[in-house]
Amino acid sequence: MSGAKKVLSAERTSLVALNFQAEPGLLKDWIPEGFQPDLHNGDCYVSLVAVSLRKVLGRGIPFPVCLGLGSIYLRVYICRETKDGILRGFRQVRSVVTSERGKWLLTPLFGNDLKVHKIKQTISGFDGKASETSPPSAEISWISGPDKHESRIKVTGRQRMKLGARNSKVSFILNHHWMFAENDGKTLVYEYRGAPAVIWDAGHVTMQGHMSDLVGDRLARVLGRKPASVFLVENGPVTVLGPFPPEAALQIRKAEEEKEKPVVQ
């Protein structure tokens, strides 16, 4: 991996993930050939993710710090089984960014599925100073629908999370750090790296308005359900490396797992 190319680096100022159970058949249009939905205890999940970035560097060009970059997207969890093991990751679909320049910057990573929409993100408490009496909170709002009403998502943290067992629902969602993208009919793999961060369980969640503006009518039905889980992630660095062919990514994952094994003396 020493020759891996850094295609994006940034400082994540906030991340909010709302996770929903979904029928695998709804996702078939976004699952690359040779892949399948990655299930947790037989259930399929998608995540609506709102993230804000600053100090963004992509295509070798710094994105203006004063502008920052906001994005909302649906994350679909998929996997590929081979004789050498299982490669798990996510496909980012129905992606919305807050500016034309952000679209230009991210299109090589996420393809032409990106669209631009004016989105306002108001965040507090993501700077490592939050407490259970003053937890982090985020509000994402946009003007939507033919009536031009304001739609919004508001999430307030409750307590810092302990991830617990590796096979827990939250761990399942967080452990997908390989990102799959389509380019000229080929599936490429990127490694999404982030430093260990403080994660908060949500205590209050409000979703109002037209979610179809973000994800389309079919997937908006999924977002109308009660979330299976909601969490907030405090700030930290983010790096995206790649692209790799799926076979190379699987070998990288296996090598990393070998490094993590305890040494027997």
Minimum mean pLDDT among 98-107, 132-141, 170-179, 254-263: which range?
Answer: 254-263
Distances in Å between the Cα of 4 and the Cα atoms of 105, 162, 205, 238, 247 are 19, 32, 39, 15, 15
Best CA proximity match to 140, nearest among 130, 125, 150, 128: 150
Does the pLDDT at position 29 exceed 70? Answer: yes
Task: Indicate if the alpha-carbon torsion angle 130, 134, 136, 139 is positive or negative.
Answer: negative
- Cα–Cα distance for residue pair 75/190, rounded to 1 Å: 14
Mean per-residue pLDDT, 219-240: 93
Per the structure block, which two tokens stand in for 42?
Answer: 């037989």
Minimum mean pLDDT among 35-39, 71-75, 134-138, 170-174: which range?
Answer: 170-174
Contact 98, 70 (CB under 8 A): yes
Q: Tell me how many degrees the CA angle 215-217-220 measures, rounded to the nearest 5.
A: 60
Per the structure block, which two tokens stand in for 52?
Answer: 């804000």
Q: What is the pLDDT of residue 23?
A: 94
Residue scoring higher pLDDT (261 or 187): 187
Q: What is the pLDDT of residue 112?
A: 72
Does the pLDDT at position 264 exceed 50? Answer: no
- Cα–Cα distance for residue pair 248/5, rounded to 1 Å: 14
| Average pLDDT of the chain, as a whole number | 85
pTM for the whole structure:
0.89
Minimum mean pLDDT among 5-19, 40-54, 122-136, 141-155: which range?
Answer: 141-155
pLDDT band of 1, cuts 50, 70, 90: very low
Residues 51-91 pLDDT 10s: 999 888 887 776 665 457 889 999 999 998 877 788 889 99
